[in-house]
Amino acid sequence: MKRQYDIAAYVWPSYTGDEPRSKIFWQEGYGEWQTVKKAVPKFDGHNWPRRPLWGYVNEADPAVMEMEINAAADHGVNVFIYDWYWFDRRPFLECCLNDGFLGAKNNDRMKFYLMWANHNANHLWSYDLSDTEVGETVIWKGGINRIDFEEMCERIIDKYFFLPNYYTIDGCPVFMIYELSTFVEGMGSAEEAAAALEWLKRRVKEKGLPGVHLQITGRSGSTLNLSGVDGGAVIDSAEVMKLLGIDSFSHYQFVHFTDIDRDYGEIMEDVKRVWDCAEKDYGIPYYAHVSCGWDNNPRFKKFRPGIVKNNTPEAFERALVAAKEYTDKMLEKHPERPALITVNSWNEWTETSYLEPDDLYGYGYLEAIKKVFTE
């Protein structure tokens, strides 16, 4: 029987002007497309500017998302992981999910789940301020206390977890946390963070679901520096994951755990070594991650070092083959697991890591996924 792979692409929900609070970053009213339109090459041979083949579309428009869902599903991408924000006791950049994806008539073709992007928000997203000291100014903190956490989770459970196309593992809705250290710091200690997640598990069951599958995005290194927390202790990440009852992890971007300022093929050799030792190091299931590339120069006026080289669709395809082989190997040992692979990303245009078609490679990245996982 042919195996069904769950190819889950992260979605950066900034390409809309429908979110009122986004105007402090993108005043022209169509989200981070404003930054993409301003992007210029920083050196001879720099592959910018790139332009979206679909145009500067509003991804909070259900008609637009119907087109994007079809393009994704037709090429083998069957899960979206939405970057989901909670700042100042309310959601941020939620329109793309609520109005666009969930409003699309064909959203039954895709599963989705949330990655709580609990990092601080600063003026990095403001192109004109990103190269200045003001760019580092924190506008909203990502860490929250227990009261805010419970308020946030009540909303997530009621609004999303019961939807028929919310992605589950063993019947439990998957909830991903982006920054483990920020979560622990917001709670005040690792023990308080564990208590908060135990509350979440109980609350989900009280509302009629079998449980919640807690997932973490991995980072470099094997320790968490909980400065100001737990007496300033440096705690082994595996110990924290065990204490918090984390069920699995993946990565968000290659840049988080390896040197990306080199050839894509060289990077992949390091990535494969990380895959091979991930479960042994952390003691919980790991789902392979593949990034399309990295170059965040579009967000800055000045040149930013650190650019993935030769990340062509052909190189990306070879990375997908490796991820498929890793997944098949792990499923031989653990056949009960889903064949889940995460990809960065559907639309991280200003980090130059996206599947959406552009005027450089067209549908090349999507065609690579289709070739490896559906043909």
Report pLDDT for 279: 92
Task: Tell me whether residue 348 is exposed, middle or buried, using C-beta atoms within 10 angstroms of its C-beta: 0 to 12, 13 to 18, 19 or more.
Answer: buried
Indicate the residue type of 137: T
Report pLDDT for 228: 40
Spatial neighbors of 296 by CB under 8 A, at least 6 apart, are 304, 306, 350, 351, 352
Report pLDDT for 239: 84
Average pLDDT over residues 326-353: 97
Contact between 98 and 89 under an 8 Å Cβ cutoff? The reply is no
- From CA 245, how far away is CA 243, in angstroms rounded? 6
Average pLDDT over residues 8-12: 98
pLDDT digits (tens, 9 = 90+) for 289-336: 999 999 999 999 999 999 999 999 999 999 999 999 999 999 999 999
- From CA 32, how far away is CA 37, in angstroms rounded? 9
Q: Which residue has the higher pLDDT, 131 or 70?
A: 70
Report pLDDT for 229: 44
For 239-259, what is the HEC assignment?
Answer: HHHHHHCCCEEECCCHHHCCC
- From CA 77, how far away is CA 8, in angstroms rounded? 6
Domain 6-373: which CATH number of 3.90.1530.10, 2.40.100.20, 3.40.50.2000, 3.20.20.80: 3.20.20.80
pLDDT digits (tens, 9 = 90+) for 229-277: 444 455 567 888 899 999 999 999 999 999 999 999 999 999 999 999 9
pLDDT digits (tens, 9 = 90+) for 175-215: 999 999 999 999 999 999 999 999 999 999 999 999 999 99
pLDDT digits (tens, 9 = 90+) for 17-72: 999 899 999 999 999 999 999 999 999 999 999 999 999 999 999 999 999 999 99
**What is the chain's mean pLDDT, rounded?**
94
Contact between 217 and 115 under an 8 Å Cβ cutoff? The reply is yes
Side-chain half-sphere CA neighbours of 249 within 13 A: 30
Report pLDDT for 227: 40
Report pLDDT for 234: 54
Indicate the residue type of 177: I
pLDDT-based confidence at residue 226 (cuts at 50, 70, 90) = very low
CA-nearest of 65, 104, 225, 88 to 143 is 88
Report pLDDT for 261: 97
DSSP 124: G
- From CA 203, how far away is CA 23, in angstroms rounded? 35
Contact between 238 and 281 under an 8 Å Cβ cutoff? The reply is yes
Task: Tell me whether residue 43 is exposed, middle or buried, using C-beta atoms within 10 angstroms of its C-beta: 0 to 12, 13 to 18, 19 or more.
Answer: exposed
- From CA 276, how far away is CA 291, in angstroms rounded? 17
